[in-house]
Amino acid sequence: MQLHELQPKHKNRTKKRIGRGGKKGTTSGKGAKGQKSRAGRKMVPIIRELIKRYPKLKGYRSFRVENDVAVVSLSVLEKTSKDGETINPENLIKKGIISKIKGRSPKVKILGDSKNDQKFTKKLVVENCQASKSAKEAIEKAGGSIK
């Protein structure tokens, strides 16, 4: 067998030409009348209307909770701070106890440790921070104050 004797196994299928007269001339192979048979048709999917409506529905984005509160425990303050020191968000960021959230200094909440509340001995001045009941009691018992 020579190279010029090779033939394809299947014959090529001829492409149907539509809209050139003859039997297919009336509808040009596009079926009957209607929006789908028109030139330049734009069929908008129905689902798009539902998707557009989603942000307006009740509950969409309404339960998004932004956690921009940094939590600090009393045991961490006991280890890292000195007696009579002022505790505020800026000082905590400088020490590396908390970090900025989205480029801003976050709100700080001081939580008490139920086991370590009695061991807390530092006199701290707490400014611009929230504190839980047990943390307030422990700080005030040690001689500190919360502003």
Please state, in angstroms and rounded to a whole number, the distance separating the CA atoms of residues 123 and 146.
11
Q: Is residue 7 part of a domain?
A: no
Is residue 120 a part of any domain in this protein? Answer: yes
In a domain, 125, yes or no: yes
Residue 46 predicted with pLDDT over 70 = yes
37 inside domain: no
Domain that holds residue 135: 69-146
The strand pair at 69-73 and 145-146 is best described as unpaired
Tell me if 21 is assigned to some domain: no
Residue 64 has pLDDT above 60, yes or no: no
138 membership: H or E segment, kind and range: helix 133-141
d(CA 123, CA 142): 6
Indicate the SS3 state at residue 49.
helix
pTM of the model: 0.53
Number of domains in the chain: 1
